Amino acid sequence: MNSIAILCSGGDVSGMNPAIKHFVEYALAKDLKPYLIYDGYDGLIDGDIHEAYFSSVSGIINRGGTILRSKRSSRFLDPSYRAKAKANLAKLGIDKLVVLGGDGSFRGMSAFCAEHNISFCGVPSTIDNDIVGTEYSLGVDTALNVIRSAIDNIRDTASSFSRAFVIETMGRDCGYLALISALTSGAELCLIPEVEYDLIHYKQKFAQELKNGRRYFIAVVSEGIKDSSQSIAKWFEDEVGIEARVTTLGHTQRGGSPTTYDRLMAYRFVTHAIDALLSKDGANSVICYNSGGFNYKDIETIAKSKFELSSELLGYLRYV
């Protein structure tokens, strides 16, 4: 029986556990022996690799995070540690890997596979949704729903106290979460790293809206913008003339029970990943989702370009 393993690398996302569950079940259905690797690439190096059974993944589909845990491994950059990882896999007869992570994780795995004749398929897994070549990454829908729920709750207080609320989302240098959340929550202001802004542009508009009866504002900002959220709140108070508060959502966006859509996408991503490794057509690639379908892209195609938000989404920003 051929062996196959799965690991998580980089930040955790809701959707990883459904992916792990389906990995085990689908591998067994395909007459493969599934293994679970704990603690990411460190687990490869330390041999924390265990054969999986149906019971190993029972009851995890509704849980956020990952039962495999995840780490960013500096040791994996060292060729001697990668050789140790290969030896651990060879002892168990594992020559196929499914990797849940981001582009950095995929680049590390690509180097490892080139050195040691291992096949891998990457599943994009990041709430930032900033992987080149795929319109969707696992965990994004759950994160957006966490943000939506938070904004809906904050709106109640904003309207009750006649305040402006500045709500900061994650995303590093990518404004996807902030932009989509602003569009779908009816925010009055959205600031993202991809678009230059001048608050003077909004001052007269917002002041006039207050005169016309507006009683509160919702501003959604990405963590990667040039100004701090606190400074945006101070601008509301000093320039617009309304009391303001800041809510930084932080790591609440990475957790929570996976949405139905993320559970379904986990199922689909993993199915295509295992099929790619069995057919070898998509081996040493990343499974991407575009225009309603799946396709395989090599890591160089993904790594050589900088992620950019679509012109369509950016076009909507002018109406916020």
Report the catalytic residues.
Answer: 128
Q: Read off the DSSP letter of residue 317.
A: G
Query: Which token pair is 228?
Result: 């701090």
Locate 116 and state its tokens: 């040691």
Phi/psi at 68 (5° precision):
-85, -10
Tokens of 284: 């040493």
Q: How far apart are CA 223 and CA 173, in angstroms?
A: 8
Tokens of 178: 């902030």
Tally of CB atoms within 10 A around 70: 25
**Cβ neighbours for 104, distance < 8 A, ≥ 6 positions apart:** 10
Q: Which residues of 183-202 are buried (b: 16+ CB within 10 A; e: fewer)?
A: bebebbbbbbbbeebebeeb
CB-based contact 244:237 (threshold 8 Å): yes
